[in-house]
Amino acid sequence: MADKRPIGVFDSGIGGLTVLREIWRATPSEGTIYFGDNSRTPYGTKSASTVRKYSLQNLKFLETFDVKMIVIACNTASAYAYEEVAKHAKVPVVEVITPGADAACRATKNGRIGIIATGATVGTGVYKDAITARAKDLADEGINAEALKDIKIFQKACPMFVSLAEEGWWDNEIARMTAGEYLEPLKAEGIDTLVLGCTHYPLLAKVIGEVMGPDVKLINTGVAVAGTVKDILEKNLLGSDETDPVRKFYTSDDPAMFEQVASPFLGQGLPSGTLHVTTDRYEV
Ligand code: DGL
């Protein structure tokens, strides 16, 4: 029997829309409720305990919709709060780091993998740990074993990319200069795979690709996350067969502003009917 309950997705603001877009693409009959915590963004410069509190409040809000799954469409919240959210959630929780790590391990040919993310995500080392663990598992299974037997991981925090993406400056001289400044050291390390470890970064994929060159594969974690969502729905018989699924948006800041900035992140039309909600009233 089809399970028509929606999937709850949250992010610190609009970056998670690059993940939502991939979820829509991979599982078009699923309903989604998206919450962007725009009034408290960015999460990438906040402490672990603050991001945990915010994430639990976001979970409580999304659970009021009787969701069947929660997707933490934010690397920073995944890095700091996944375990807490998974512990408190009544439904399966998907984070964005493990699927991205898996995709990177499958893509590399020379075992040299770069990670770019917010300072918070880089500071936790979660990607490093996830890639190291996944590389070992895949190599043990004989998958891409030659490349994965001695992997080298290089990280770089690129905090300015978040502002550039939100400002719509993803293909101009300032974006190119910033990308050059951040990425040249990674390029010099000879990486052949680069994880876009922040959900804002796919918007800057063009300039990032220009700096890194055609031989470096960029990993858009949203695609990998959507694959994980699909797998879980199929394995747990949670899939929907809706022809016109619900697609609702909530923001903790101004809905009109949210819709304006959301459009390019979603890659299609302007969302409409976005409602304002604050999740700070939820006790955690
Ligand atoms: N979208 C967030 C992430 O993936 C970055 C933005 C923020 O710092 O809140 O980490």
Over residues 256-273, the mean pLDDT reads 82
Determine the topology of domain 98-221 in CATH: Rossmann fold (3.40.50)
The pLDDT tens digits for 31-64 are 999 999 999 999 988 999 999 999 999 999 999 9
Domain ranges of the chain: 7-95+224-281, 98-221
Determine the topology of domain 7-95+224-281 in CATH: Rossmann fold (3.40.50)
Q: How much distance in Å is there from the Cα of 15 to the middle of ligand 1? A: 6
Over residues 11-18, the mean pLDDT reads 92
pLDDT of residue 228: 96
Q: Phi first, then psi: what are they for 280, rounded to 5°?
A: -75, -5
* pTM for the full predicted model: 0.93
Closest C-alpha to 249, from 218, 271, 270: 271
pLDDT higher than threshold 90 for residue 94: yes
Over residues 87-115, the mean pLDDT reads 97
Greater confidence, 104 or 258? 104
Over residues 92-118, the mean pLDDT reads 97
Average pLDDT along the chain: 94
HSE, side-chain direction, 13 A CA sphere, residue 269: 3
CB of 165 within 8 A of CB of 261? no
Q: Is 12 in the pocket of ligand 1 (CB under 6 A)?
A: yes
CB of 49 within 8 A of CB of 77? no
Q: How much distance in Å is there from the Cα of 197 to the middle of ligand 1? A: 9
Active site residues: 74, 198
pLDDT of residue 230: 96
Closest C-alpha to 82, from 116, 50, 51, 42: 51
Ligand 1 atom, smallest distance to 198 CA: 4
Q: Where are the beta strands (DSSP E) in the chain?
A: 7-11, 32-36, 69-72, 93-94, 112-117, 152-157, 193-196, 217-220, 247-251, 275-276
